[in-house]
Amino acid sequence: MAGWVARAIGRGAIVGELHLSLIEEFRQRGISIPYPQTEVRLIGGGT
């Protein structure tokens, strides 16, 4: 997510508060975002 703030002073606090609000809203609505998964395959040279 991206946003724009007119003044750089306090930007971090505003962005942090926005993220926390989104997380809380997602939890209330039962929305979860899964962590990305990685599959690793080893080819050849068996033991």
pLDDT of residue 46: 62
Residues in the chain: 47
pLDDT of residue 26: 95
**How far is Cα 17 from Cα 36, in angstroms, rounded to an integer?**
24
pLDDT of residue 2: 72
**pLDDT tens column, 1-47:** 677 778 888 888 888 999 999 999 999 999 998 889 999 888 886 66
3-class DSSP assignment, residue 8? coil
